[in-house]
Amino acid sequence: MRLAHPSLEDGPHMWRLAGATGMDVNSPYAYTLWCRDFASTSVVARDGDRVIAYVTGYARPDSPDTYFLWQVAVDPDYRGRRLARRMLDFIGDRIAARGLRHLEATVTPDNTASRALFASFARDRGAQIIWSPLFTREHFPAGEGAPHEPEDLVRIGPLGPTEEAHA
């Protein structure tokens, strides 16, 4: 498996992977645009030529020292291999080198895997982790389909490189 920033050609693969993992899926256009405009703050994992995982994120315009992680997706066949953590470290090293000091993401209260991922990332970087409510069910459309779960904000920082990056 190899990690790299996404290319335009990765957009459709990321869109399909989002659907296969059961997460909120954006339009195919959004993933392709993401690969153009936010490639330097995103990562894909490939097994050969196949995209098997990705992380998307961006530097927040109103808080330029903060990276917002938008989505993490891992093909179900590749789970349990610490791939999400490897991608998070890849991104963490790059955004810290660019001077970004904090990482933020939103996580539903019942997503124990993501909560553990962010907790281990913060611990291994010696960074503080703060959880706070951000979006309630009332912030999302009601009436059509299943109601959206609330989203808690996780804020990690200040960021520095991992110990492995120094070795």
**Digit-coded pLDDT (tens) for 60-96:** 999 999 999 999 999 999 999 999 999 999 999 999 9
Is the pTM above the cut of 0.85? yes
- The domain total for the chain is 1
Cis peptide before 61 (omega within 30 of 0): no
pLDDT of 167 > 60? The answer is no
Mean pLDDT of 141-159: 84
Q: Contact at 8 Å (CB) between 109 and 149?
A: yes
Please give the Cα distance from 60 to 156 (Å, whole number). 14
pLDDT of 141 > 90? The answer is no
Please give the Cα distance from 49 to 149 (Å, whole number). 35
pLDDT of 27 > 70? The answer is yes
CATH number for the domain that contains residue 34: 3.40.630.30
Domain that holds residue 110: 2-166
